[in-house]
Amino acid sequence: MNYTVSNLTQVADCDVLLTWANKEKADLTFKKLSEERLTTKYTDTSIEVEAVLQGVIAEISAVDTIIAVLPDGPTKEAEQKKKVKLEYKKFLLETRRESYGAVALLQKQLDLSRVEKELEEVDVFIAAVTAHKETL
């Protein structure tokens, strides 16, 4: 963006803007670090959740097969209870996948990209004000 730095007529005004812009840059740099860490966490968690979920789904399938061939009795009841626990675990993992899965990861990546673009623009602004300050 072209900034109308030519409207600045005093070095003091440039200094005020540079102080403000450098504070913004520091805040954005911290935010970028936070977003990078969150993105890494989401990447790791999404892979882990998906792997565990696939294991639970396979285990449910195995328990279904066992239940189908067992006669009524305590062993069948134990397997049915096991299946209920597995179904609950599956539900929790699917809920967690919504929070940390591929969609959430992409949202975090977008957040990180936005912060990076803001940092770039602040650098452009600082350069423009600094260059104009040198002409005063």
Nearest to 35 by CA among 107, 99, 83, 85: 107
What's residue 77's pLDDT? 95
Give pTM, 2 decimals: 0.71
What's residue 97's pLDDT? 85
User: How many Å apart are CA 113 and CA 103, to the nearest integer?
Assistant: 15
User: How many Å apart are CA 66 and CA 57, to the nearest integer?
Assistant: 14
Interval 46-97: pLDDT, tens: 888 889 999 999 999 999 999 999 999 999 999 999 999 999 999 999 988 8
CATH 1.10.287 fits 7-135, yes or no: yes
Nearest to 26 by CA among 132, 118, 102, 92: 118
What's residue 100's pLDDT? 81
User: How many Å apart are CA 119 and CA 26, to the nearest integer?
Assistant: 9
What's residue 79's pLDDT? 95
Residue 122's Cα: distance from chain center in Å?
23
Indicate the domain borders of the chain: 7-135
pLDDT band at 102; cut points 50, 70, 90: confident
Mean pLDDT calculated for residue range 128-132: 97
**Cβ atoms 125, 8 nearer than 8 A:** no
- How many C-alpha atoms does 25 have within 13 Å on its Cβ side? 14
Nearest to 2 by CA among 98, 121, 105, 120: 121
